Amino acid sequence: MIFQLLKPLDLDFLNFVDGLPSQSLGKKVTFFKGGTFEDFDKYQLAIIGVNDNRGTGSYSEDIVDLSKIRKAFYALYPGNWNTRVIDMGDITPGDTLDDTYFLVKSIVAELLRNKIVPIIIGGSQDLTYPMYRAYDEFEQMVNLVAIDHKLDLAKEECDVADSYLSKIIVDEPNNLFNFSNLGYQTYFNSQEEIDLISSLYFEAYRVGEIANNLSLAEPVLRDADLVSLDMNVVKSSDSGNFEMFSPNGFNGREICALARYSGLSDRVSSFGIFNSNNQSSEALLIGQILWYFIEGFNFRYKEYPFVNKESYFKYIVPIEGYDELIFYKSDVSGRWWIEILLAANEGKLKNKKILLPCSQEDYLQAIQQEVPERWWRMLKKSLV
């Protein structure tokens, strides 16, 4: 099986775990020992390390010290969780970058098939591409959310990690339904890229928008299948990354809140943290990001997909030019959705009615006869 190609964690690391307090995370997680793996029903989350940074154009085997991240993470204490986690060890770099892509895709697909959420740590952000390709065999449209300071839509010659989104959009089969960026910084992106995101009816939120109102990100992440987090979105004073210094970006509290929203989303089925560095301060931050993702996962409301609309409050808002907008509010979590009939002429989305996550502010906006921007954008996308 494909899991035989994984490299289990070495004895030195396992000895470190043995020395941790009995209530620490390291004593609550199972560590894969290699060979075949068939105990899928025993676990809900699987952590896999990847130490391949060739997508950045500056690859060396010791760029990312994943043991620092793991030591910081497993020394933490869990919350009141019942989530079962296994650390599968590392994907060692293949002879070529495509070999690594194949292994990431195959392992992620196998875990998804068996209802386990893979968490990829380490490596460059182009590994988002094979994670996305893992969904091919499930014949579903994919919503991708990138928490990133760049849009990664570059056309000119550049590192793969700076243009992986272009590859996702162009390559067949094209299963990308929606892309959303949280945290881009305008001066790191050309106006052409920003305009292209808008013309494709994708979503992009500047770092200031999200930092000033973190709740804006919750409906976006609630609608995601795959979340890709670039650590360069965190400002250096909080990440400790002074080699690639960034004075602006999310702070530690904000990035952890976004990780919790990701875990809390019933739809998110894979999560990746990329472009880390060797600083101990960032290793601890990544450990806490992992902690908050698992915290959110443990408290999922299991509201997706909707099973019984009778357990939701339904609000019908007449609005000029659109007949009416229909909202649903959960009586469990208090979260909101808006109904939309996709107008695609053909394919998987033809005449498909979906419930799009939204906020209470969208409902209040509709009452004031203003069409919510997320609803309008999704409708326009289906007409393209």
How sure is the predictor about 159, in pLDDT bands with cuts at 50, 70 and 90?
low
How sure is the predictor about 278, in pLDDT bands with cuts at 50, 70 and 90?
confident
Q: How many CB atoms lie within 10 A of CB 28?
A: 15
Q: What is the pLDDT of residue 322?
A: 81
Q: What is the pLDDT of residue 211?
A: 98
Phi-psi category of residue 309: left, alpha or beta, with phi > 0 → left and psi -120 to 50 → alpha: alpha
Mean pLDDT across the stretch 319-338?
91
- How high is the mean pLDDT of the chain? 91
Q: What HEC string does 101-151 produce?
A: HHHHHHHHHHHHHCCCEEEEECCCHHHHHHHHHCCHHHCCCEEEEEECCCC
257-271 residue pLDDT tens: 999 999 999 999 999
Q: What is the pLDDT of residue 194?
A: 95
H helices of 201-279, where?
Answer: 207-212, 217-222, 236-239, 252-264
Q: How far apart are CA 103 and CA 52, in angstroms?
A: 12
Per the CB < 8 A criterion, the answer to whether 232 and 148 are in contact is yes
Q: What is the pLDDT of residue 347?
A: 55
Q: What is the pLDDT of residue 172?
A: 93
User: Can you name the residues that pair with 273 across neighbouring β-strands?
Assistant: 121, 229
How sure is the predictor about 342, in pLDDT bands with cuts at 50, 70 and 90?
confident
How sure is the predictor about 219, in pLDDT bands with cuts at 50, 70 and 90?
very high
65 versus 137: the higher-pLDDT residue is 137
CA distances from 201 to 30, 168, 355 (A): 42, 16, 18
Q: What is the pLDDT of residue 288?
A: 97
Helix (H, G, I), strand (E, B) or coil at 94: coil
Residue 61 has pLDDT above 50, yes or no: no
| Short-list 236, 282, 264, 275, CA closest to 335 | 264
Place of tokens 């025993």: 42
Q: What is the pLDDT of residue 272?
A: 98
Q: What is the pLDDT of residue 348?
A: 54
Mean pLDDT across the stretch 74-98?
95
122-152 residue pLDDT tens: 889 999 999 999 999 998 899 999 999 999 9
Mean pLDDT across the stretch 231-239?
94
Q: How far apart are CA 239 and CA 268, in angstroms?
A: 25
Based on DSSP, count helices (H) and strands (E) in the chain, helices before strands.
Answer: 13, 13
Q: How far apart are CA 247 and CA 81, in angstroms?
A: 36
Mean pLDDT across the stretch 237-259?
92
Residue 344 has pLDDT above 60, yes or no: no
What is the biggest distance separating any 2 CA atoms in the chain, rounded to whole angstroms?
A: 67
Tell me which DSSP letter residue 277 carries: -
Q: What is the pLDDT of residue 311?
A: 81
Residue 161 has pLDDT above 90, yes or no: no
